[in-house]
Structure 1
Amino acid sequence: MEAARSMDGLRQLQRDTFDYFLSEVNPANGLIVDKTAPNWPSSIAATGLALACYPVAVERGLMSRSAAVARTLATLRFFLYSPQGPEPDATGYKGFYYHFLDMATGRRVWQCELSTIDSALFLAGALSAAAYFDAAEAREREIGEVADSLYRRTDWQWALNGAATVTHGWTPETGFLKYRWEGYNEALLLYILGLGSPTHPLQESSYAAWSSTYRWESCYGYEYLYAGPLFTHQLSHVWIDFRGIQDAYMRGKGLDYFENSRRATHVQRAYAIDNPRKFDGYRECCWGITASEGPGPATLKLEGVEREFYDYVGRGVPYGPDDGTLAPWTVVASLPFAPEIVLQAIDYCVHQAKLTMYNRYGFKAAFNPTHPGEPGNPYGWWVSSWHFGLNQGPIVLMIENHWSGLVWRLMRTCPYVVTGLRRAGFDGGWLKAQH
């Protein structure tokens, strides 16, 4: 009975969450709204996640194959023909794309950066769509051809800006950003895609330079490759099945990145049980600390304790920042790693905290049981007003990977991913069978 309720609940959550991509879209160009606030732009990361979600929707009966093909083609065609160049109002440059794009025109907004990581998420979505829509029919052939063209024109070498590791991005006003992808994080996917390119690949030395900045920790009885926000242990795993495959670093530690994410998930739960800062709500079934928006900036005195609350910040475990804000989506995104603790936490969020009750698309972005929120709010504590595409996608995709491994199987057939993994030094597991 309990298992059946969990299965039904996950089906409903996946369906409600996917509705975001059906509704928060410009169907003419496939761009997905970053956030459900009025007049908000698209984000390329959300759009890439949508491309990966359409195959799941077809498999689960949430969208017809024909409708999914049409939506996917509209998206890929837009990016193929949209302006690429150094002009400040282009869509992208050097095969990368600006973080935020106008929903109608697809041009850059807010003087945002050309984002290497968000471009990688978009390209991963395009490649997974190409792997799924592989029929001989003309429109599906075009999906594969356009996705291939978009990937091949990305100039990963340019993004190094003459150094060993990849930069975070570039703007036409000031050039390359000063930050680089160093330390273990979601850039695992970025480096693999960059290494796999047949046209402008990263050098293998760039991966070694990146992994040399890793930080190994022991926390709450778990030894693991540290990254504080939980999402950093998840986003690359949305697409790539790291079970049983190892690079040089993981061979030296005797585990793989999947096991590492399992440990990071358990550290989150152990931290919530320990609750060193004594926030309301934290317990074995209520956790999930990651980069998210929050109820701040504000300082409130609550039950005699002065509490500082933040807005958007990279919250993390165990060193913080931590202001009592939790993100239910990041709990769901750990489902393949640790279902024995994740299902309990999802059940709490849905049935006890009732965090889906008033929401059109499943979970809102974040909640904070310590902060009282606005007077008269239905929860009695702060809950975000918004849904974000970047949160919605991993819910749909990681539920599916937990059930069927669909996205993982699709990406195992992508020659660029296989090449990138091998050039990064991965071997073993399913890679042995790939040619």
Structure 2
Amino acid sequence: MNNRILLSIIALAISGIFLIACNNSSKKEPATTGEESRPASFASDDELLDFIQKKHFNYMWEGAEPISGLAPERIHMDGIYPQDDADVITTGGSGFGIAGLLVGIERGFITREEGVERLHKIADYLAAADRFHGVWSHWLHGPTGKVKPFGKKDNGGDLVESAFLMQGLLCVREYFKAGNESEKQLAGKIDTLWREMDWTWYLNGQDVLYWHWSPEYGWEMNFPLEGYNECLITYILAASSPTHSIPASAYHNGWARGGDIKSEAVAYGHPLVLKHNGAEAYGGPLFWSHYSHIGLSPKGLKDQYADYWQLNRNHALINYEYCVENPKGFEGYGDNCWGLTASYSVNGYSAHMPVKNDLGVITPTASLSSFPYTPEQSMKALKHFYFDLGDKIWGKYGFYDAFSIQDNWYPQRYLAIDQLTITPMIENYRTGLLWNLFMGAPEIQEGLKKLGFTYEN
């Protein structure tokens, strides 16, 4: 089953949850208390970026599920919230949020001691939560750590979401491993979780990684991880594991499809380099260039298939130039209002992308999490979103998930997987903090060599 079908299935699943939410408004979010206030001006662009990072960081800090300290799947500020959804935490989105906690420490949003305390809580929770051969599920029930099924058969291990989670955790391990006694203990807890992940189990006896395994349904979900999409980090971690490392052949035969992953597609003069699973002409949704690269630095990263900096930068530039061209004539699109990726939509949840699925919906995380690749274009979008559209798209935890000027649609809703990439990716643009931490991990360096990557910082 290819990634197009996978995205459609996930979109349908989340759309169903979205529709439940729309029909159930009995659980209200508390009234806001001025937290969504917006300064009218800033002394510099750096001051603006500080403010933006802090607001989005707060989704993971102030907005965390209280028992786990992890990120709630969604937060709705418009009074629409499923009754059974308030305690649902997301493992992948939490991985992005965990990386953001390090940014919060570095930027002084929280103290180092506060960060360590929260991260101990998270590590202890994850050690006690349901795992499947060391791998967590897509969703967990916050108060208990038990699986919250993402779908009927998706009630076991989710290798990709767990990879996003471990990517953030390894950044934390590297950040604290030479610290004081409490910090070293934290690093040790994370190292144990890392070593307990059985990546080889998820080969399913074949030469490709599989996304899901359930003790009830086995491999019935049947999603082999074939590139190119958001899942590259899964292969990097699986090859880097000190205890359950997969063979390099799984990367080359599975992910790279025996070399068939290479592409000659060009859009707006920008080569795409790799096939994007059915979105070859213009690239897929922009989260494909964000999720795996919270820690995995594309700068100077190359293998026999691609230069990953070129790949990601071109992906973002194509998305930008498509929105500027605006072939479907949607109101609001332009050089200061761009960014198509998976998010809420006028019709539920949808993986927005150029040409194939452009619904007139702009998702702020698409351009803001692309800051490392398109700094000038992203800054222009940020200022437009903030100063011109802020009255409609700004709230307690920063920019709301998505909007459509075309349809006069401005929902006051957040999704963790979109909200929590903004702070770390802006930080990677500014200082390379998370890239340096993750790429400095000894196992990651060995894993990259094993797969045939070269890396020049």
**Shorter-chain TM-score: which interval?**
0.7 to 0.9
Aligned to 1:57: 104
Aligned residues: 392
Question: Residue 192 of structure 2 corresponds to which residue in structure 1?
Answer: 149
Match of 1:273 in 2: 324
Unmatched 5+ residue regions in structure 2? 1-40, 277-282
| CA 189–355 in structure 1, closer or farther in 2 if over 3 Å, else same | farther
Map of 1:108-257 to 2, 5 A cutoff? 108-110=147-149, 111=152, 112-113=154-155, 114-176=157-219, 177-209=221-253, 210-211=255-256, 212-216=259-263, 217-224=265-272, 225=274, 226=276, 227-250=283-306, 256-257=307-308
- Describe the superposition over 1:237-275 as per-residue Cα deviations: whole angstroms up to 9, x where unpaired: 21122211311112xxxxx21121111111011111221
The equivalent residue for 1:44 is 91
SS class of match (2:266)? strand
Q: SS of 2:166's equivalent?
A: helix
Note the C-alpha offset of 1:3: 9.8
Instruction: Give the 3-state SS of the residue equivalent to 2:302 in structure 1.
Output: coil
- 1:86 aligns with none
**SS state at 2:146 partner:** coil
Report if aligned partners of 2:386, 2:394 keep a CA contact under 8 Å in 1: no
Tell me if 1:345 matches 2:381. yes
User: Contact conserved, 1:182 with 1:213, CA < 8 A, in 2?
Assistant: no
**1:275-424 map, 5 Å:** 275-296=326-347, 311-317=348-354, 319-354=355-390, 358-371=394-407, 381-424=408-451
1:328 and 1:363 in contact (8 A); partners too: yes
Contact 1:184 1:213 in 2 (8 A): no
Q: Secondary structure at the match of 2:136?
A: strand
Where structure 1 has 5 or more consecutive residues not aligned to the other structure, the ranges are 83-90, 251-255, 297-310, 372-380, 431-435
Scaled by the length of structure 1, what TM-score is found? Answer: 0.86
The answer on whether the counterparts of 2:343 and 2:418 sit within 8 Å (CA) in structure 1 is no
Which letter maps to 2:266? S
2:62 equivalent in structure 1: 23
The structure-2 alpha-carbon separation of the partners of 1:188 and 1:382, relative to structure 1 and needing over 3 Å to count, comes to same
Offset at residue 67 of structure 1 (A): 0.8
Does the aligned pair in 1 maintain the 2:340–2:352 contact within 8 Å? yes
Identify if the C-alpha distance between structure 1 residues 36 and 3 changes in structure 2 by more than 3 Å, giving closer, same or farther. closer
Counterpart-to-counterpart distance in 1, 2:117 and 2:421: 22
Distance apart, 1:215 and its partner CA = 5.0
CA 215–368 in structure 1, closer or farther in 2 if over 3 Å, else same: farther
Whichever residue aligns with residue 287 of structure 1, its letter is W
* CA–CA separation in structure 1 for the residues paired with 2:224 and 2:388: 41
User: For the structure 1 residues 271 and 358, does the alpha-carbon distance in structure 2 shift closer, same or farther, using more than 3 Å as the test?
Assistant: closer
* More displaced 10-residue stretch of structure 1: 266-275 or 166-175: 166-175
**8 Å Cα contact 2:59-2:420 kept in structure 1:** no
For 2:313 and 2:260, the matched residues in 1 are separated by 21
